[in-house]
Amino acid sequence: MKIKKNIPLIDQHDKFGFWGGKFGGSFIPETLKKPVEDLTNEFKKLRKDQKFIKKRDFYFKNYVGSPTSFTKLENLSSYLNGAQIWTKVVSEANGGAHKIYNATVHALICKAMGKKYIIGDTGAGYAGKMLSMAAKKFGLKCKIFMGAKDMKRQKPNCDAIRKNGAEIVPVYSGSQTLVDAVSECMRYWVSNCDNTHMCVGSTVGPNIFVKICGWSTAQISRELKNQLKRKFKKIPKKLKLINCVGGGSSAYGFWSEFIDYNKKHVELIGVEAGGPKKSLLHAAPLSRNAKIGVLHGAASYVCQDKEGQIHETESISAGLDYPGVSPIHCFLKDTKRARYTYATDEEALDAYQLVTKFEKLSPSLEPSHAFAEAIKIAPKLSKDTIIIVNSCGDAKKDRDILRERLGKD
Amino acid sequence: MKNLLINDSFETAKKENRPALLTYTVAGDYTKKKSLEILKSISDYADICELGFPHNTPIADGGQIQTSSYRAIKNGIKINDVFSIVSNFKKSKKNKPIILMGYYNMVYQYNEDKFISMCKKAKVDGLIIVDLPYPENKIFSSKCKKNNINFIQLISPTTSKSRLRKIINDSHDMIYYISMLSTTGGKLKVSAKEIIKQYQKIKNQNKSKNVVIGFGITEKTIKSLKKADGLVVGSAICKEITRSIKKRQNAVTNVNNLVKKLKNKIK
């Protein structure tokens, strides 16, 4: 299993859609074969269409607000007294997280295909919020599927979704979190694929959805590469890119331009959700050695039991609370190009407190997992090491959880 | 190589000038013992019994079958129990074909080859894997064929003409036509005439294949689709089990009555 150079990772799959011969694919019911094939052909056409690229870039700049800023966290760096900590504040993007890139592209594709309805899943509520924004912007009718448990813990995003005129469909089956929301969304698509476009909120699901999402979030690393060159004149010699990983869309977007570099030059570190310290449950299939399984139309490392029933997961962060992970990250893990670890709920909360104490930055609980790893390794590293954390979400949505756990706003 | 039991069932139905009746129940719903009892009891009227091995993340099942599946999983059903239900069933009903139906991850975790050999041992006659479409299923389906197990291909209203031809070429004796764009148990939103028209297109490709229609078939709709080689009723049965449990009635008797009524409608 080997990564090829000069080819985007999203395109390094075989004819059945598998990365490294075993991750990904399209395990879908017959009914979805045709809509998935149509979408695959449409995307193949559009990504080569200069007019479409221009449109995408126009909306990325004028609607999403690219580029998001890249800045050094001076106080945190001095406090940790080791590697320099930098951040790319992707949460500055319209709506407050990286999910807007994928949502915008899906809305544009939906329009191009002449469909009037768009549906999507959401965990933390960001994918749903952004899709509802994009739907409103482009005049599409939108339904968001969300687990009932997530609706309670991420209320601010639910309010935003409804304000944008989208309908939230609460999902009461199973663990009532993201995994069930994705299942329900796919089931809805099975029944309505003739007039409805489906957006999968991360780099998961059948092959084509991994590709579209990765293609969209890759904007983050294109910006970062330019910003690095401007700041440092070249790509720094000791660079570490740390990103949280749930489905893995923000991590892939943050890394895609840097995958061809040697790992000693640019190290890629993914941080999964380790769950509560004292709980056996987690959402960390990569770093806690889950087996390969098939979930939501793709093969990946999946938290599951011996029989193949999908495990319930547990994490303070709804956006990372997912038993599977992108096939692309499985591929990066098995080729050893990226390293994956996890942070517990408590570590993420500590990191959140430390970052907000020293900096004018309020990362949501998802990137707080990435900050936890940065804080852990920075003191042991040389001062010329550059750590960049993707602060891919804003903590506004976590208001209730933070108040409950930390006793403050 | 033909699976004799499945073929014979269709032959018998044809001789009686009616479609074969296929039932779907979930193994372990609502206990291991009860699901075997239900299976035995409905096989008096059903020509072929489909038995689901439940998965907790089903992407093509509607509410009724989800409820049955969750109930079965909660009551501790394991894959090996599913095989032992089939074995037990076959002890008293050795001529009644059984088709197992489920999602690929369960097969994958069990190991494809081991799964097929267990099917053979338990005398399973056919397999439907909902999320293993053509052409991804080519290797698995040929393994099934070698072991005299029918791998049943699905065809949907969205299946293109060229794809249809390829799937039929690669299919075994039986083909499953999904009546409409829906998960299982949806309300029939297409006219019976339209469904039969699509069904006929499949038949015209190869008359020797037995084509059954499923999804959305209930007591109310079953008669209108009588022309088909076979008709599958699943969600309506699962719903009856749920209803019986709620009302504290005997699910075995109630389901038996329902299947008897279904059979009478197509006689």
CB contact under 8 A, A306 and B109: yes
Statement to judge: residues A183 and A264 lie in one domain: no
Is residue A195 situated within a structural domain? Answer: yes
Q: Do A68 and A388 meet the contact criterion of CB atoms below 8 Å apart?
A: no
CB contact under 8 A, A190 and B160: no
Statement to judge: residues A85 and A224 lie in one domain: yes
Q: B179 CB near a chain A CB, below 8 Å? A: no
Q: Which of A191, A302, A308 sits opposite B182 (nearest CB)?
A: A191
What average pLDDT does this structure show over B209-219? 96
- Residues B25 and A282: their CA atoms lie apart, in Å, by 33
Q: B154 CB near a chain A CB, below 8 Å? A: yes
In this structure, the number of other CB atoms found within 10 A of the CB of residue B11 comes to 13
Statement to judge: residues A320 and A193 lie in one domain: no
Q: How far is B152 from chain A (nearest CA, A)?
A: 12
Is residue A240 situated within a structural domain? Answer: yes
- Residues A390 and A320: their CA atoms lie apart, in Å, by 15
Whole-number pLDDT of residue A174: 81
Indicate if the alpha-carbon torsion angle A8, A14, A17, A20 is positive or negative: negative
Q: How far is A258 from chain B (nearest CA, A)?
A: 33
- Residues A219 and A217: their CA atoms lie apart, in Å, by 5
Boundary residue ending a domain (A175, A192, A214): A214
Q: Which residues on B lie below 8 Å from A16 (Cβ)?
A: 136
Closest CA to B59 of B26, B121, B102, B30: B102
Is residue A7 situated within a structural domain? Answer: no
Number of structural domains found in chain A? 2
Can you give the CATH number for the domain in which A283 is found? 3.40.50.1100
What average pLDDT does this structure show over B148-167? 96
Which chain B residue shows the shortest CA-CA distance from A189?
A: B182
Whole-number pLDDT of residue A140: 98
- Tell me which residues of chain A have a pLDDT lower than 50: none
CB contact under 8 A, A297 and B158: no
Boundary residue ending a domain (A161, A184, A214): A214
Q: B17 CB near a chain A CB, below 8 Å? A: no
Q: Band of the pLDDT at B1, cuts 50, 70, 90?
A: low
Radius of gyration of chain A (CA): 19
Tokens at A90, concatenated: 């992707």
Q: How far is A12 from chain B (nearest CA, A)?
A: 19
Torsion of CA B78, A188, A323, A218, to 10 degrees: 150
The angle formed by the CA atoms of residues A227, A232 and A235, to the nearest 5 degrees, is 80
Mutate which: A14, A30, A187, A313, vs B, most B CBs within 10 A: A30
Residue B104 CA to its chain's centroid (Å): 15
Statement to judge: residues A202 and A236 lie in one domain: no
Statement to judge: residues A246 and A391 lie in one domain: yes
Statement to judge: residues A195 and A257 lie in one domain: no
In this structure, the number of other CB atoms found within 10 A of the CB of residue A306 comes to 10
Whole-number pLDDT of residue B2: 67
DSSP codes of every residue in A77-103: HHHHTSSEEEEE-GGGSTTSBTHHHHH
Q: How far is B23 from chain A (nearest CA, A)?
A: 20
Whole-number pLDDT of residue A408: 61
Is residue A138 situated within a structural domain? Answer: yes
Radius of gyration of chain B (CA): 17
Q: How far is A312 from chain B (nearest CA, A)?
A: 10
Tokens at B224, concatenated: 């209108």
- Residues A7 and A203: their CA atoms lie apart, in Å, by 18
Statement to judge: residues A45 and A146 lie in one domain: yes
pLDDT in tens, B5-63: 999 999 999 999 999 999 999 999 999 999 999 999 999 999 999 999 999 999 999 99
Which chain B residue shows the shortest CA-CA distance from A294?
A: B105
- Structural domain boundaries enclosing A381: 65-96+219-406
Model ipTM? 0.95
Q: Which residues on B lie below 8 Å from A309 (Cβ)?
A: 55-57, 73
Which domains are assigned to chain B? 4-266 (3.20.20.70)
Choose, from B50, B81, B229, B240, the residue flagged as catalytic. Answer: B50
Q: Which of A186, A192, A310 sits opposite B181 (nearest CB)?
A: A192
Statement to judge: residues A229 and A295 lie in one domain: yes
Indicate if the alpha-carbon torsion angle B247, B253, B259, B262 is positive or negative: negative
Q: Which of B59, B154, B181 sits opposite A296 (nearest CB)?
A: B59
Tokens at A216, concatenated: 């969209």
Q: Please report the number of interchain residue pairs, chain A to chain B, with beta-carbon separation below 8 angstroms.
A: 113
Nearby residues of B154 by Cβ (< 8 Å), 6 or more positions away:
A29, A30, B128, B130, B133, B175, B176, B177, B178
Is residue A209 situated within a structural domain? Answer: yes
Q: Which residues on A lie below 8 Å from B71 (Cβ)?
A: none
CB contact under 8 A, A294 and B59: no
CB contact under 8 A, A310 and B160: no
Is residue A172 situated within a structural domain? Answer: yes
What average pLDDT does this structure show over B91-105? 97
Nearby residues of A26 by Cβ (< 8 Å), 6 or more positions away:
A16, A17, A36, A206, A207, A208, A297, A298, B133, B136
Look at the block and give the residue holding tokens 């912007």. A137
Is residue A14 situated within a structural domain? Answer: no
- Residues A154 and A181: their CA atoms lie apart, in Å, by 14
Statement to judge: residues A149 and A249 lie in one domain: no
Statement to judge: residues A302 and A185 lie in one domain: no
Q: B132 CB near a chain A CB, below 8 Å? A: yes
CB contact under 8 A, B183 and A187: yes
Q: Do A286 and A270 meet the contact criterion of CB atoms below 8 Å apart?
A: yes
Is residue A1 situated within a structural domain? Answer: no
Q: Which residues on A lie below 8 Å from B183 (Cβ)?
A: 187, 190-191
Statement to judge: residues A226 and A164 lie in one domain: no
Read off the amino acid at residue A27: F
Q: Do B151 and B189 meet the contact criterion of CB atoms below 8 Å apart?
A: no
Percent of chain B with pLDDT over 70: 99
List own/partner pairs for A58-64 with CB under 8 A and 24 or more apart: A59/A104, A59/A108, A60/A101, A60/A104, A60/A219, A63/A94, A63/A104, A63/A137, A64/A93, A64/A94, A64/A100, A64/A101, A64/A104
Statement to judge: residues A90 and A103 lie in one domain: no
Q: Do B149 and B120 meet the contact criterion of CB atoms below 8 Å apart?
A: yes
Closest CA to B49 of B73, B27, B75, B80: B27
Boundary residue ending a domain (A214, A229, A245): A214
Verify whether residue B61 is a known catalytic residue: yes
